[in-house]
């Protein structure tokens, strides 16, 4: 929809009088919608988008161009793009019938040219994008990308946007280490479990995080600590000295969310996982 204004001038006896200004709206018979195929995103995801053009008019629109800003946002002196077009993914339909792929310039922003919409008909573009390192990952982050259609016969560019929200949750991994690697009989041995959280949400007590292990050889005189703080047998963990089965109490271990930092020059985000360290020590 485009606005226009108009004002008249009255002249008489060498005098000039201006009328009031009137404002109107020019409605285009061509409409544009954009739909995201997914509601959530995570690093490296492939996301699909659907562009729909509907022509309610009696004349066709030809030679239209589509631009998609791929969610670009300013960073420093440049622009960071949280989405990147997946090469060769575009599909083009007129009235539901597949058409040859249009010309695509994949960079930021994405550009598609040579589109047509028949009178009383519709055209649809479907294409895929990949989440880049410039996509924000903190909880609540949103990528908004906007499509703009321009071309002859349009009173003004048509725009439509779609939003997707970052996936929220914990993403845990664990690495086990042994010290010393060589131990004498009746010597002391320590197992260290480093639990990392690459997600944007804490793994709190409600997550029920548990570390279980079956120690072989059996450990005697077992003690355990979490982040350097002693744990209590029976309350914080259990250990069966006959079978060697060790387990922490569900929810006793919590792992903080990751933290994120953005590189000013590129817009890329780096992830520092949250961490919890469990140490179990005994004699063999």
> In terms of domains, do 161 and 181 share one?
no
CA distance 30 to 156: 11
Instruction: Look at the chain and report how many structural domains it folds into.
Output: 2
Report the C-alpha gap between 219 and 216 in whole angstroms. Answer: 8
- Mention every residue, 6+ apart, whose C-beta is less than 8 A from residue 22: 5, 6, 7
Its pTM surpasses 0.85: no
> Would you give the distance in Å from CA 160 to the centre of its chain?
19
Residue 3 CB-density burial (10 A; 0-12 exposed, 13-18 middle, 19+ buried): exposed
Among candidate residues 124, 150, 166, the one where a domain is terminated:
166
Q: Are residues 58 and 101 in the same domain?
A: yes
Per-10-residue mean pLDDT, the chain, length 284: 73 85 72 97 96 96 97 93 97 98 94 97 98 96 97 94 97 96 87 97 97 94 97 97 97 97 93 98 94
185 plus 245 within the same structural domain: yes
- Write the CATH number for 54: 2.60.40.740
DSSP state of 205: G
pLDDT of residue 27: 56
Q: Supply the pLDDT for residue 71.
A: 97
Parent domain of 126: 28-166
Q: Given 125, 141, 166, which residue is the final one in a domain? A: 166
154 lies in the same domain as 194? no
C-alpha 280: how far from chain center: 38
Query: Going by C-beta distance under 8 Å and a sequence separation of 6 or more, which residues neighbour residue 252?
Result: 205, 209, 226, 231, 236, 237
Of 131, 166, 201, the last residue of a domain is 166
Residue 276 shares a structural domain with residue 158: no
CA torsion angle 223 225 231 236 (round to 10): -100
Give yes or no: residues 191 and 108 share one domain.
Answer: no
Query: How many helical (H) and strand (E) elements, i.e. helices and strands, does the chain have?
Result: 0, 26
Q: Is residue 227 part of a domain?
A: yes
**Same structural domain, 179 and 133:** no
What is the pLDDT, as a whole number, of residue 26?
55
- Domain assignment present for residue 83? The answer is yes
């Amino acid at each position: 929809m485009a606005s226009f204004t108009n004002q008249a001038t009255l002249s008489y006896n060498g005098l000039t009088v201006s009328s009031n200004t009137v404002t109107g709206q020019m409605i285009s018979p061509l409409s544009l919608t954009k739909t995201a195929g997914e509601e959530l995103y995570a690093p490296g995801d492939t996301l699909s988008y659907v562009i729909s053009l509907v022509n309610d008019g009696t004349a066709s629109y030809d030679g239209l161009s589509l631009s998609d800003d791929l969610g670009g946002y300013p960073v420093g002196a440049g622009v960071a793009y949280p989405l990147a077009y997946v090469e060769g993914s575009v599909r083009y339909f007129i009235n539901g019938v597949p058409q040859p792929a249009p010309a695509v310039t994949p960079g930021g922003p994405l550009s598609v040219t040579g589109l047509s919409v028949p009178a009383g008909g519709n055209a649809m573009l479907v294409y895929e994008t990949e989440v880049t390192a410039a996509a924000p990952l903190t909880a609540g982050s949103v990528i908004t990308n906007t499509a703009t259609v321009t071309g002859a016969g349009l009173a003004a560019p048509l725009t439509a946007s779609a939003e997707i929200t970052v996936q929220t949750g914990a993403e845990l991994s664990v690495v086990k280490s042994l010290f010393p690697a060589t131990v004498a009989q009746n010597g002391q041995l320590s197992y260290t479990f480093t639990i990392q959280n690459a997600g944007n949400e804490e793994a709190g007590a409600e997550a029920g995080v548990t570390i279980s292990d079956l120690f072989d050889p059996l450990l005697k005189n077992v003690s355990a600590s979490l982040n350097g703080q002693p744990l209590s047998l029976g309350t914080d963990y259990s250990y069966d000295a006959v079978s060697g089965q060790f387990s922490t109490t569900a929810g006793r271990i919590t792992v903080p969310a990751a933290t994120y930092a953005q590189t000013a020059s590129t817009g890329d985000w780096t992830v520092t996982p949250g961490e919890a360290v469990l140490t179990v020590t005994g004699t063999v």
